[in-house]
Structure 1
Amino acid sequence: MTVTEAAPEAVKRAGTSVEFRGLRRSFGEVAALDGLDLAIAPGELVALLGPSGCGKTTALRVLAGLEQVDAGEVLVDGGDVTGVPANKRDMGMVFQSYSLFPNLAVRDNVAFGLRLRGVAAATRRRRAQELLELVGLDSHGHRYPHQLSGGQQQRVALARALAIEPRVLLLDEPLSALDAQVRTQLRDEIRRLQLRVGITTLFVTHDQEEALSIADRVGVMRSGRLEQCDTPAELYQRPATAFVAEFVGTMNHVPGVVAGQEVVVAGHRLTLAEPAGARDGQLVKVLLRPESVTLTAEADGQALVSDRSFRGAVTRVTATLPDGTTLLADLPSVTAADLQPGAQAAVRFAPQPVLLAEGE
């Protein structure tokens, strides 16, 4: 089955646009949302990523109608739904906990929302079966939740959310209760289904790998605001701020000295991505990704290799600079054979603009 196959008519519908305009929501003195602006295109999957307390789950709950805002607007297909109650918003939601009814068979769990809407029994059965086929559980309709694995239960929860043909699908860390292998499989399955159905989706997660692998765009949140919302590649390769750079992926903190629009790092001059605010001669910490660092075994090299970790096609080499700074380099395994612990290595950096660490 491929993502380009036509979806069953019961679940196929055009995507819906969503927009947050200046959302503000405080809990006491804590601002969960501080002027959040975000636009989601029809059929797009946007993941919200950020540390605990950044406001990502609050934003999802606001869209669901489960949380009210202090200020701002929520638009769905251009219409203001800010004051519309949750049961009138037509949203499908999947939580971290499966929240299935233990006394109902799988087929009845999927059809539950349709029953509440007064859909005829025959139509409910047909749609439930279509959705179970969509999530690969068409032969499990007679079983009960306790007879399913965690991954299968979450598939049922996803089918139930899609059964009511929601305008928007909301996923609140739906994979965090699953083990690593199942999480990866179901992550890919969710993306396949989302593309197949064409439904606009907001996905909240604290797992950066999850967000980068599943989303059309990823929004990194901090203190109730979006630091950056971009494609996974753009977010990783061209982070807009030091916070985004450090939150997404791994970063080296390497000492440097500002020299005009450049910074000198271990004898190399690199362009500053954000020169404003840095003065000549200022001591700073430069952010460098491990894949931007190259180590070459040389007897008079300035770095000392202290560790190495084989990761298949890539080997992560840990080295120490003369000032004691630890440096991580991700190198092709075929070229890293000489970089054993105790070896001296020359250091080079990719010629690309760099960011400075905050507060350094």
Structure 2
Amino acid sequence: MTTTPLNAPPTGVPLHPGSATVEFRSLRRAFGTTTALDGLDLTVHPGELLALLGPSGCGKTTALRILAGFETHDSGEVLVDGEDVTKTPAHKRDAGMVFQSYSLFPHLTAADNVAFGLKMRGSSKSDRRKRAMELLELVGLPQRAEHFPHQMSGGQQQRIALARALALQPRVLLLDEPLSALDAKVRLNLREEIRRLQQDLGITTLFVTHDQEEALSMADRVAVLRAGRLEQCATPSELYARPTTAFVAEFVGTMSRIPAYRSGDGVEVLGRRHAVDGVVPADGELDVLVRPENVGLTAAADGGAVVVGASFLGAVTRLTVRLLDGTEVKVDLATEAAALLPVGGNAHLILPDRPVLVDRRVKSGQ
């Protein structure tokens, strides 16, 4: 079933009064012996889409729910445009939230779902209807106004949930893994359309996801959380190209580890000395972390490596290369070049002459 794309904002009534600055300051939250947030410091700028990315249990949804007013924090501050909203009830925080499960009222039509918050605020029936139809037009579903949730696809239901969140003209839009329940094709289309709509509206948006592809493709900046702490917050390109910690490097994109040895203030890896990007750990054996596209590979009878696997990815083929010590490294090559390096063939691995990211060596089985 095809659906009309999300549209540009209609002229006339503004869809929101303005975007807000959101700040988390030294935010802490524990549930029993489990620390969900451990001193989170993070600022979301007006009009930007910031993705909170991390594994399950890292605190990203807790931070979102605290901002929405659905959870309380143990210490720290949550500020919206400089105002501490800790004591502000959820319904007065000027935030619209879209949940993973849609949370539409099954007995209400699409239009009535969108207008529900306006009804609670006492808006007239005619004003509610006008507003609902504007928003249904915005999300490309005016023809579904009188349909009930069970008569719509998952992607359409999520659009209705998005329209409902925008109905009250929030200064902040909160998206809690809103695409995870959808199939791959719908998810791809809807994330592009949500991003386009967010940019058109200029509304400050926090997007929680554990899917790195979603975060990198949609966000202005990505904040990577781990165990309740902020590891790094940067633009997608910077996060991918210049991760500041080994956790970020391995969580965002594909990374291989290659054993390395200290050499002055640098390291030696694959027989060559490299400068280090960042700080060399004070003790312990070392690994260098490398992206598949940043590794060179040539056929060589005595190159010290063997091609043990190949995955066709279209224009690129990802080869798996095993070194003499058993280390396996992923290498992305143009498919035509990869054809010259068949599985079972000997090869020589080359790292570019640039600073490398290092970490303490991960032992086998860890």
Q: What range describes the TM-score normalised by the shorter chain of this pair?
A: over 0.9
Once residues 6 and 202 of structure 1 are traced to their aligned partners in structure 2, the CA distance between those partners, rounded to angstroms, is: 20
In structure 1, the residue matched to 2:242 is 238
In structure 2, the residue matched to 1:192 is 196
What SS does structure 2 have at the residue aligned with 1:189? helix
Which digits, 9 at most, give the CA deviation of each residue in 1:119-165, with x for residues without a partner? 11111111111111111111111111111110110000001100111
Alignment of 1:94-109 (within 5 A): 94-109=98-113
Unaligned runs of 5+ residues in structure 2 are none
Alignment of 1:327-338 (within 5 A): 327-338=329-340
- 263-272 or 71-80: which moved more? 263-272
User: How many Å apart are 1:87 and its aligned residue?
Assistant: 1.3
Q: Does 2:347 align with 1:345?
A: yes
- 341-350 or 296-305: which moved more? 296-305
Q: Is the 8 A contact 2:7 2:197 kept in 1?
A: no
User: How many Å apart are 1:299 and its aligned residue?
Assistant: 2.7
In structure 2, the residue matched to 1:34 is 38
Unaligned runs of 5+ residues in structure 1 are none
Once residues 219 and 165 of structure 1 are traced to their aligned partners in structure 2, the CA distance between those partners, rounded to angstroms, is: 25
What SS does structure 1 have at the residue aligned with 2:166? helix
In structure 1, the residue matched to 2:211 is 207
Which of 77, 81, 86 is equivalent to 2:81? 77
Alignment of 1:9-24 (within 5 A): 9-24=13-28
Alignment of 1:248-259 (within 5 A): 248-259=252-263
- 6-15 or 16-25: which moved more? 6-15
Instruction: Give the letter aligned to residue 307 of structure 1.
Output: G
Which of 56, 68, 87 is equivalent to 2:60? 56
Q: Is the 8 A contact 2:7 2:140 kept in 1?
A: no
- 82-91 or 227-236: which moved more? 82-91
Structure 1 runs (4+) deviating above 4 angstroms are: 1-8
Q: Is the 8 A contact 1:47 1:205 kept in 2?
A: yes
Which digits, 9 at most, give the CA deviation of each residue in 1:77-126, with x for residues without a partner? 11111111111112100000011111111111111111111111111111
Which of 317, 320, 323 is equivalent to 1:321? 323
Which digits, 9 at most, give the CA deviation of each residue in 1:246-291, with x for residues without a partner? 1111110111111122211121222212344346xx6312111111
In structure 2, the residue matched to 1:177 is 181
In structure 2, the residue matched to 1:142 is 146
Once residues 294 and 13 of structure 1 are traced to their aligned partners in structure 2, the CA distance between those partners, rounded to angstroms, is: 52
In structure 2, the residue matched to 1:68 is 72
Residues 142, 2 of structure 1: alpha-carbon distance in 2 compared, 3 angstrom cutoff: closer
What SS does structure 2 have at the residue aligned with 1:330? strand
What SS does structure 2 have at the residue aligned with 1:357? strand
Instruction: Give the letter aligned to residue 267 of structure 1.
Output: G
Once residues 315 and 105 of structure 1 are traced to their aligned partners in structure 2, the CA distance between those partners, rounded to angstroms, is: 48
In structure 1, the residue matched to 2:278 is 274
In structure 2, the residue matched to 1:356 is 358
Q: Is the 8 A contact 2:7 2:139 kept in 1?
A: no
What SS does structure 1 have at the residue aligned with 2:142? coil
User: How many Å apart are 1:350 and its aligned residue?
Assistant: 2.1
Q: Is the 8 A contact 2:195 2:218 kept in 1?
A: yes
Residues 276, 254 of structure 1: alpha-carbon distance in 2 compared, 3 angstrom cutoff: closer
What SS does structure 2 have at the residue aligned with 1:331? strand
What SS does structure 1 have at the residue aligned with 2:164? helix
Once residues 203 and 236 of structure 1 are traced to their aligned partners in structure 2, the CA distance between those partners, rounded to angstroms, is: 18
Once residues 167 and 275 of structure 1 are traced to their aligned partners in structure 2, the CA distance between those partners, rounded to angstroms, is: 40
Q: How many residues align?
A: 358
Instruction: Give the letter aligned to residue 298 of structure 1.
Output: A
Residues 13, 297 of structure 1: alpha-carbon distance in 2 compared, 3 angstrom cutoff: farther
Once residues 6 and 98 of structure 1 are traced to their aligned partners in structure 2, the CA distance between those partners, rounded to angstroms, is: 22
Instruction: Give the letter aligned to residue 310 of structure 2.
Output: R
User: How many Å apart are 1:343 and its aligned residue?
Assistant: 1.2
Once residues 91 and 71 of structure 2 are traced to their aligned partners in structure 1, the CA distance between those partners, rounded to angstroms, is: 13
Instruction: Give the letter aligned to residue 222 of structure 2.
Output: V
User: How many Å apart are 1:243 and its aligned residue?
Assistant: 1.0
Which of 81, 91, 108 is equivalent to 2:95? 91
Once residues 253 and 25 of structure 2 are traced to their aligned partners in structure 1, the CA distance between those partners, rounded to angstroms, is: 29
Q: Is the 8 A contact 2:37 2:63 kept in 1?
A: yes
Query: TM-score, with normalisation over the residues of structure 1?
Result: 0.95
In structure 1, the residue matched to 2:251 is 247
Once residues 143 and 210 of structure 2 are traced to their aligned partners in structure 1, the CA distance between those partners, rounded to angstroms, is: 33
Instruction: Give the letter aligned to residue 234 of structure 1.
Output: E
Using the aligned pairs only, state the percent identity.
61
Once residues 113 and 229 of structure 1 are traced to their aligned partners in structure 2, the CA distance between those partners, rounded to angstroms, is: 34
